[in-house]
Amino acid sequence: MDTKALAEILETLKQSGFAEVELDYQDWHLHVRQGTVSAMPTEPVAAPPATVPQAGETVVKSPLVGIMHLADEQQQPFVTVGQTVEKGTILGQVESMKLFNEIKSPVAGKVQQILVQDRAGVAYNAPLFVLQEVD
């Protein structure tokens, strides 16, 4: 599906007044809900290139495909760069099929990098966080 065809479909749906519509077309699945658009290929999403951890670093990866949430319901970030975390600290959540799956720190350490944006789509095994381990 090209962008022109997608734009025409979206404009038609916008004017139709539907609250929610799903459309399967060739290798695309389109889901539109009250101004929110989600279009993705129905084939598996390729994971981004692997992040190579340096000595003493741990890369936390997504255990599933979904939408990354870096903040809680009150829009407070779960963690920030530079923050020290304990093993088991919630780093974020991946929403998949309307379920929120907590991503917990596998080690005690310091958050070196947050590799994804809030509400970004993530693939299975996509790197999310880099933690510098502490003793």
Instruction: Read off the pLDDT of residues 75-92 as tens digits, 9 standing for 90 and up.
Output: 999 999 999 999 999 999
Residue 63, judged by CB atoms within 10 A of its CB (0-12, 13-18, 19+), counts as: middle
In the predicted model, what is the mean pLDDT of the chain? 82
Q: How far is the C-alpha of 25 from the C-alpha of 42, rounded, in Å?
A: 10
Within the chain, all domains assigned CATH 2.40.50.100 are found at 57-133
Comparison of pLDDT for 82 and 32, the residue scoring more:
82
Does the structure show a pLDDT above 80 at 14?
no
The CATH number of 57-133 is 2.40.50.100
Q: CA torsion sign, 25 to 28 to 29 to 31?
A: negative
